[in-house]
Amino acid sequence: MIKKREHNLALCLFFLLFVSLCVFYSGFHKRLIAGTEKTYEELKIFSDVLDIIEKNYVDPVDSKTLIRGAIKGMINVLDPHSSYLLPEAFKELQIDTRGRFTGVGIVITMQNNVVTVISPIEGTPAYKAGIRAGDIIVKVDGVETKGMMLWEVVKKIRGKKGTTVILTISREGLDKPRDFAIVRDVIPLESVRWLELEPGFGYIRITTFRDDTDKEVEAALRKLESGREPMHGLILDLRDNPGGLLEQAVNVSDIFLEEGRIVSIMGRVKTHNKVFMAHPNRIKHNYPMVVLINGGSASASEIVAGALQDHGRALILGTTSFGKGSVQAIERMRDGSALKLTIARYYTPKGRSIQAEGIKPDIMVEKRWVEEEKKTQTHRLREKDLKNHIAPVPESEPEEGKKDVNEKEMRKFSEPGVPKISKELLKRDNQVQRALQILKGWYIFSGMSF
């Protein structure tokens, strides 16, 4: 028995030290953190529990299963963006998103242990089927999602093009859950669409921030700026954009800024800190801008909106954004699993924390579609609604440490898509039309003398 207990205690100590070594991104200085007496006492309790379970549980239990469960429990007390990914989940996360895949087009999260829709992506099968922000997915093809990991739900929703998946949705206002039969389709991964609304007035929509999003934006600008009339104004649409790569958010912001801070990253340790600066552009885009945001605009899209707002480069219109202002780093473990850990917060150029606060528009316009004027607005899930979300804190100097920061934000468990846009559709879009009116008024006033 003594040998068994010593074995379990040694296993626990190894477990703690292993996690301590692995929780930060590859290339970090890996050094042991001396445990306190209190930590050691807690580890002895852990060893006792492990020993009791192995000896007395009704069925034999694999120690690997127990320890992985303990790791999950440890991560679950942190913020909702930190997680322990088993090997299969990590492989699912690493799907090559530079190509195409099939799905339904939704961005989901886990809220209070239920799978909740952050937003359907415009133009995708889920959007056309009537899936809404705030919907709770209680079943996928008749299988309850309760107890599933988020990646498991995503895997069940994805499938071959032309096949049907049935999502059972619980929604405020419905007497009972309702089934939505959705035909999977190819979800294109281009992140930018554009068109000329009127001569001299352009519209660019970014659905996600992916590799080469900045180049796609620059290409769109070249087309718009080569029109019959010079550019008088631009609408940059970031609504329902769940985020993506940090470096792409910085690059897109830099296209419209000539100098100053774009975003800063501040963590608990100094080596997590980083400040991203704007640079003078060879091609100037000196015309007014309106940026559209809503409750589905998160993370990287909030960085762009916050940077352009703080520099007075664009007017922000719409509704308050999601409020996901934290940075995650991913460390791959030796068994193929991975740890995703929140290590820092984002701050706008003026030092505002995005976390749980979001970007507040300069002009609040809640109604998007003209025909929705008399409808009740759907409550959107936001970062502050998530269990254990980290609080916003003022920008300050963190403590010293020996860790590094990942400059690329991990890709989300979401299904990206590109909405079909047309002038006819945008004529019904109340927020776009308000933005266009503002830009036209701005142009008219700039040409007047007083």
Which residues 6+ apart lie within 8 Å of 447 measured at CB?
Answer: none
Report the greatest alpha carbon distance in the chain.
Answer: 93
Distance CA 78, CA 63 (A): 24
DSSP string covering 158-224 = ---TT-EEEEEEE-TT-SS-EEEEEE-EEE----EEEEEEETTEEEEEE--B-TTHHHHHHHHHHHH
Q: Which two tokens mark 196?
A: 């000329």
Task: Tell me whether residue 319 is exposed, middle or buried, using C-beta atoms within 10 angstroms of its C-beta: 0 to 12, 13 to 18, 19 or more.
Answer: buried
Residues with active-site annotation: 299, 310, 324
Three-class DSSP category at 392: coil
Retrieve residue 438's tokens. 């503002």
Give me Rg for the CA atoms of the chain: 24
**Distance between CA atoms of residues 217 and 219, nearest Å:** 5
> Among positive and negative, which fits the CA dihedral 214, 381, 294, 189?
positive
Q: For residues 81, 86, 87 and 92, what is the CA-based torsion angle, rounded to 10 degrees?
A: -50
Whole-Å CA distances, 379 to 83, 130, 134, 137: 26, 15, 7, 16
Residue with tokens 């995703």: 340
